[in-house]
Amino acid sequence: MKLHGKHANSLADRDRITTLRTHHAFWHKADKRSITKIRGQGRCVVSPLISMAYYMGMDFGTSGARLTVIEDDGSTVFETKRAYAHAEQDWSSAWERLLWELLDSVPEKIRSEVVSVAFDGTSATSILVNQVDGKVLAPVKLYNEAQAEQAVQAVKAIAPASHTTSASTSTLCKLMAWHLEEVWQQAESHGMKPCLMHQADWLASLLHGSRSVSDWNNALKLGFDPETEAYPEWLNNQAFSHLLPSTVLAPGSPVAPLTAAAALRSGLPGSINGSSQPGCLVCAGTTDSIAAFVAAGVTEAGQAVTSLGSTLAIKMLSQTRVDDATYGVYSHRLGNSWLVGGASNTGGAVLRKFFADSELHSLTQKMDLSCPTGLDYYPLVKPGERFPINDPGLRPRLEPRPADNVVFLQGVLESMARIEGEAYKLLVQLGASPAVTEVLTAGGGAVNEMWTQLRAGAIGVPVSAAKHGDASYGAALLARQGWRSHCSAQTKKES
C-alpha cells in the first residue's frame, strides 16, 4: 500500500465513517439542561446545577488566542480572546503571557470546576527546548516560515518522494535547519537536553510538565505516520531522532493532570493526594484547522471545512488518504478517518493588510456580485505559497488596484474564492473521495455572506458558516472526549 505519493490508497471502509459518526455523536452529544445567562467579561452562562464538570479548549492561532469553556451537553459556558501584540519579538513569552491572562480571566466559579483542558496551535510552529527546564533554546520558527534550500534538500534526501515533510515550511525542515546550524548539538555540549516541541505541545507542557508529548496532527509535518502510529525508519535513523517527541497520541487522549505549580498558578483544580480524581486533566491537542473541523461537527465523507482565518486552510473528510507535497496536500487522521487538505497563505491576513474588520463589513455591503470585477489576483501578504501551489517564491499578485475600494475588495474575495475552488478540485483530482458535497466555514471570514456566495459559486457546492466555528470550541470538545475516556478507563479499573 503506497502511503506517500500521488496514489491515494483505499484506507477506510464504511465502518470508519460510521466510527466517525459515532465519534460525532460522542463529541456533540446533546442532553438538554436548563441554564441561566448572566453577563460577565466574556459570555458567561452559569448552569444552576452545582458541581458541574466543565471542559476547556484553548486556541493559539495566527493573530491571537481564544479560550472556550463548555459543559457536558456542548453548550458554551464562557469564552474570551486576546490578540497578540502587533510585532511580537519573543513568541514563546507572548504565548505564555496570554495563557495565564486567559486563564486568569475565567470566573473562579467556572475555573474551579474545569476537569479537562486541550490546546490547538498553528501547524508546524516549532520550538527547540531544553527538556530539563523548559528553556527555549532558539527563536521559534512559525508555521509559515519557509526554511533555506539546504535544509529542504537535506529533508528530500532522507524522506520518500513528495512526502509532506519535504515542504519548506514543514516541522522537519525546521528541525533540519537547527541540525545543520548545529544548534541542538551545541546545547547538548553544554549539558542540556534539547528536544523539538510544537506550539500546542509546549503550551500543554506548561500545565502538565512533560516535554515529550505530542499528537498525531501536530506531529504529521515532523514525519510521524498516523497510519502506523509511529515515526518511519528513515526518520528514526537520523542523528537528531532523540529530539523527537517520544509520545504521540490521538487528539483528545488523556495525557496527565496539572502539576501542583500549574494548579496553583492557574487556579484550575489540582490533583488531590490519594484520590483517583486527577483534578484538571490535560488532554492531547491538535492543530488549529483540525480543531475548527472538530468544532464544525462534520460527519459525512465529502463534507469539508474551510478555516477562513489569517490563512485559508481546507480539510475534506475522505475515505482515501492523499499525501503529495508537490501541491502541499497532506492527510491528517482524526479517529479512523482521513482529513485531506492543505493550507494556503492567502486569506484574512491579506485582507487585514488593507482593511480593518469594520471596513470589510461596510465595503462588503456595497459589493455587486452580479458584476464580476475580472480582477485576477493571487492575494498574498509576501512571497511564498504552500497550497494549492507549493512555491516558496510565488509573488503576490494584487495589481491593477482600482480606485474604488469596493471593487478592489470584491476582486480580492473573488480571487480567494477561485483559489479555494481550485484547491478543492485538486484534492479530488489527486484521489480524495468522494467529491466534495458541502463546505462549512470556520474562522473570522465566515461572517461574510457575500464572500460565502462567491465561494459557493467557485466550489460548486453549498457553503455555509459552521454553527460552531471557533477552533477553541473544537479543542474543548477534545478535552471533553479526553475526560470521558479517563472516566470510562477508571470505571473499567474499578469494576
Ligand X SMILES: O=C(CO)[C@H](O)[C@H](O)COP(=O)(O)O
204: left (phi over 0), alpha (psi -120 to 50) or beta: alpha
* Binds 64: which of ligand X, ligand ADP, none (CB < 5-8 Å by kind): ligand ADP
* Binds 123: which of ligand X, ligand ADP, none (CB < 5-8 Å by kind): ligand X
Report yes or no: 392 and 145 within 8 Å, Cβ to Cβ. no
Candidate residues 40, 64, 267, 457; the one interacting with ligand ADP per rule CB under 6 A: 64
Q: CB nearer to ligand ADP: give 47 or 63.
A: 63
Per rule CB under 6 A, is residue 123 in the interface with ligand X? Answer: yes
* Stretch (H or E) spanning 302: none
Per rule CB under 6 A, is residue 309 in the interface with ligand ADP? Answer: yes
DSSP-based three-state secondary structure for 81: strand
Contacts of 492 (CB under 8 A, 6+ apart): none
Per rule CB under 6 A, is residue 62 in the interface with ligand X? Answer: yes
Per rule CB under 6 A, is residue 444 in the interface with ligand ADP? Answer: yes
The nearest distance, CB 220 to ligand ADP, in angstroms, is 19
Q: CB nearer to ligand ADP: give 9 or 452.
A: 452
* Helix (H), strand (E) counts: the chain: 15, 21
d(CA 392, CA 397): 14
Q: Given CA atoms 139, 346, 318, 163 in this order, what sign does their dihedral have?
A: negative
Per rule CB under 6 A, is residue 340 in the interface with ligand ADP? Answer: no
Kindly write down the DSSP assignment for every residue of 127-155, as one continuous string: EEEETTT--B-S--B-TT-PPPHHHHHHH
CB closest to ligand X, residue no? 123
- Using omega within 30 degrees of 0 as the cis cutoff, is the peptide bond preceding 245 cis? no
Q: CB nearer to ligand ADP: give 169 or 448.
A: 448
Q: CB nearer to ligand ADP: give 61 or 226.
A: 61
d(CA 117, CA 115): 7
The 10 Å Cβ neighbour count of residue 415 is 22
* Binds 361: which of ligand X, ligand ADP, none (CB < 5-8 Å by kind): ligand ADP
- Taking CB under 6 A as the binding criterion, the range among 70-78, 174-182, 282-290, 366-374 that sits at the site for ligand X is 282-290
Q: CB nearer to ligand X: give 173 or 262.
A: 173
Q: CB nearer to ligand ADP: give 318 or 364.
A: 364
Report yes or no: 73 and 33 within 8 Å, Cβ to Cβ. yes
Place of cell 469539508: 304
Per rule CB under 6 A, is residue 11 in the interface with ligand X? Answer: no
* Binds 313: which of ligand X, ligand ADP, none (CB < 5-8 Å by kind): ligand X
* Binds 447: which of ligand X, ligand ADP, none (CB < 5-8 Å by kind): ligand ADP
Max Cα–Cα distance, the chain, nearest Å: 72
Per rule CB under 6 A, is residue 104 in the interface with ligand ADP? Answer: no
* Binds 69: which of ligand ADP, ligand X, none (CB < 5-8 Å by kind): none
- Taking CB under 6 A as the binding criterion, the range among 46-54, 151-159, 308-316, 412-420 that sits at the site for ligand X is 308-316
Report yes or no: 230 and 224 within 8 Å, Cβ to Cβ. yes
The closest of 280, 285, 282, 180 to 238, measured between CA atoms, is 180
The nearest distance, CB 22 to ligand X, in angstroms, is 23
Candidate residues 18, 22, 47, 63; the one interacting with ligand ADP per rule CB under 6 A: 63
Per rule CB under 6 A, is residue 199 in the interface with ligand X? Answer: no
The closest of 283, 284, 282, 285 to 263, measured between CA atoms, is 282
The nearest distance, CB 466 to ligand ADP, in angstroms, is 12
d(CA 205, CA 199): 10
Per rule CB under 6 A, is residue 294 in the interface with ligand X? Answer: no
